[in-house]
Amino acid sequence: MAWFTRLTRFGDVHLVYGQEAGMSCGIASVMMCVFKLNKLTPGATAVTIEKDIYQKYSTVMGSTYAPASAGTYPQYLATVMNSFTSGTWRWHTYAPTDVPQKLIDKIGTTSGFGAIVNVEPVILGVDWDVGGAHWVVVDTIRDMFGQHHATICDPWDANVHVQTFKVGAPFRYDASAGGFMMNFIGTKPKGETAPYQGVSAKGQVKTWGMICRD
């Protein structure tokens, strides 16, 4: 288990779950959404829930999930979310230029500074420019200084990245930029010192789309 408390320049606090294996970003993203929606606190309960989530994903997939060698499928992740939270989660593939507005519609926007207690997170599938993909969580959007700023909770480096975006343009994620780390809970996750080092850390939400609650 690897939970971390992160701060952003907007004065809010985000719990980020660092993925345990190279291909477990999907499971880690589900963990974050479950805790943010159900207002759970990391601790002994987190260990139990993590095991339950892995077990549920394996059941849905029809075989034992191996996070060290296999990625996760969006339809299965949505089904797992439906087992641990209220409402109906679905996987949507939107045109890249439609993603920003869909994010605003699902998450909502907040103006000003300070913590946000109630959030409506979504899981985004980022297609890296150099190939491959990654799951991340967006839990808040700030509408400030004439721009939209999405707070991305990334399980790979267990950090938050504030990403500016525009409605009508593809949602681009630059994992090498932004982010402010202060460790309050847990130790440093693997790769935190130099996240995404040696690879292109830029991509867009395209093929893998968005998993959200309807």
Return mean pLDDT, the chain: 86
- State the pLDDT at residue 188: 47
User: Helix, strand, coil proportions of the chain in percent (round to 5)?
Assistant: 25, 30, 45
User: Is the pLDDT at 198 greater than 60, yes or no?
Assistant: no
Q: Is the pLDDT of residue 145 over 90?
A: no
For residue 8, is pLDDT > 60?
yes
The fold for domain 3-187+201-213 equals: Cathepsin B; Chain A (3.90.70)
Ranges of each domain in the chain: 3-187+201-213
The average pLDDT across 106-131 equals 90
Question: Under DSSP, is residue 14 helix (H, G, I), strand (E, B) or coil?
Answer: strand
């150099």: which residue's tokens?
A: 130
Give pLDDT tens digits for 39-53: 887 776 777 888 899
Q: What is the mean pLDDT of residues 137-166?
A: 93
The encoded tokens of residue 96 equal: 């890249």
Asked whether residue 182 carries a pLDDT value surpassing 70, the answer given is no
Per the CB < 8 A criterion, the answer to whether 150 and 144 are in contact is no
Q: What percent of the chain clears pLDDT 70, i.e. is strictly above it? A: 88
54/118 Cα distance (integer angstroms):
26
Residue 71 — pLDDT band, cuts 50, 70, 90? confident
Q: What is the mean pLDDT of residues 93-111?
A: 96
- Average pLDDT estimate for 112-132: 89
